[in-house]
Amino acid sequence: MTVVRPARPEDVDGLTAVAHAAFSPYIGRLGTIEPWPMHVDYAEKVALGHTWVAEDGGEVVGLLVLEPHDDHLLLDIVGVAPEHHGTGIGTRLLGVADEQARAMGLPDVRLYTNVVMTENLAYYPRHGYVETHREQIGPYHRVFFTKTLTG
Write out pLDDT tens, residues 81-105.
999 999 999 999 999 999 999 999 9
Q: 145 - beta bridge partners?
A: 111, 131
Assess whether pLDDT exceeds 70 at residue 151: no
Q: What is the pLDDT of residues 36-56, one digit of tens each?
A: 899 999 999 999 999 999 999
Q: Sort 138 into a burial class: Cβ within 10 Å, 0-12 / 13-18 / 19+.
A: exposed
Collapse the DSSP code of 59 into the 3-class scheme (helix H, G, I; strand E, B; otherwise coil) and give the result.
strand
68: domain CATH number is: 3.40.630.30
Domain count, the chain: 1
Residue 55 belongs to domain spanning: 2-148
- Side-chain half-sphere of 39: how many Cα atoms within 13 Å? 5
Percent above pLDDT 70 for the chain: 99
pLDDT band (50, 70, 90) for residue 70: very high
Q: What is the pLDDT of residues 102-149, one digit of tens each?
A: 999 999 999 999 998 889 999 999 999 999 999 998 888 899 999 999
Percent above pLDDT 90 for the chain: 81
Query: What gap in Å lies between CA 129 and CA 68, rounded to an integer?
Result: 18
Cβ contact 124:111 at 8 Å:
yes
The 8-class DSSP code of residue 87 comes to: S
Query: What gap in Å lies between CA 118 and CA 120, rounded to an integer?
Result: 5
Query: What gap in Å lies between CA 62 and CA 22, rounded to an integer?
Result: 9
